[in-house]
Amino acid sequence: MTQLPEKTDRKLGLVIDLDTCVGCHACVISCKGWNTENYGAPLSDQDPYGDASGTFLNRVHSYEVQPEQGVAQLIHFPKSCLHCQDAPCVTVCPTGASYKRVEDGIVLVNESDCIGCGLCAWACPYGARELDQAAGVMKKCTLCVDRIYNDTLPQEDRVPACVRTCPAGARHFGDFADPDSNVSRLTAERGGMDLMPEQGTAPVNKYLPPRPKDQIAKDIDVLAPLLAPVDENPGGFLGWLDKALEKL
């Protein structure tokens, strides 16, 4: 059995804004690309042009949610390893391959010690671990540990690949042990939530809840006067187009 550290110096993790995520899967593709081309053994695809049988460290699930009051809305839910403080995947590992780093709290797998038994996948309540069939070892999100400490990269690139590539700015990376960090402030201001807190794993990653659609509609109504045309009698091409449309 592997022991968890009593405490870590830092608590690096992600804040994911469910109100902003558009489900584009850019984070999935960038994660797959970076970890296939750099960290450890490549993430295999047994049938890359057929059934989806490859290994992914980050996935996006989409759900239609019907609140008790209001209209239904589509929620895009990215999911990867949450780097839990009380990670059951670590304590169940028989070889010590799964471990939690004292210096930053990142949960990793030492692939040279992993025997592919799958116990960590059974213990993880979030389904965040996958067996790479080609390599015969368990794979999981590393928070791009090979990027965030890489001094040869520009400062803006020293974040996880999924954070760097998100076009909607829905993913944020930082140190939760620092109350003044961007992720700590976002969590406090927006009511950041744990995923399945009843499991007692104390996940480091947080989710920001989506706004109800009726609230979004109210916000749009407030902006409506500002979106009105500036010129009531447009000229040039817009004037011609306006007149042409009036004749239809």
Nearest to 80 by CA among 40, 129, 20: 129
**Helical ranges in the chain per DSSP H:** 26-37, 88-91, 119-123, 145-148, 161-165, 182-190, 213-223, 236-246
Q: How far apart are CA 80 and CA 143, in angstroms?
A: 10
More confident residue, 139 or 66: 139
User: CATH assignment of 12-210?
Assistant: 3.30.70.20
The whole-chain average pLDDT of the chain stands at 88
Considering only CA atoms, which of 80, 19, 85 is closest in space to residue 219?
Answer: 19
Question: What pLDDT sits at residue 80?
Answer: 96
Length in residues, the chain: 248
pLDDT in tens, 23-60: 999 999 999 999 987 666 678 887 778 776 789 999 99
Long-range contacts of 57-60 (CB under 8 A, 24+ apart): 57/31, 57/32, 57/81, 57/130, 57/139, 57/140, 57/141, 57/142, 58/27, 58/28, 58/31, 58/32, 58/141, 58/162, 59/28, 60/21, 60/23, 60/25, 60/27, 60/28
Residue 107's pLDDT is 97
What is the structure's pLDDT at 79?
A: 94
Which helix (H) or strand (E) is 61 found in, with range?
A: strand 59-65
In whole angstroms, give the CA distance from residue 21 to residue 233.
38
The residue type found at 197 is P
What are 59-110's pLDDT values in tens digits? 999 999 887 777 788 999 999 999 999 999 999 999 999 999 999 999 999 9
pTM here is 0.82
pLDDT digits over 172-217, tens only?
A: 999 999 999 999 999 999 999 999 999 999 999 999 998 776 655 5
Specify the domain boundaries for CATH 3.30.70.20 within the chain. Answer: 12-210
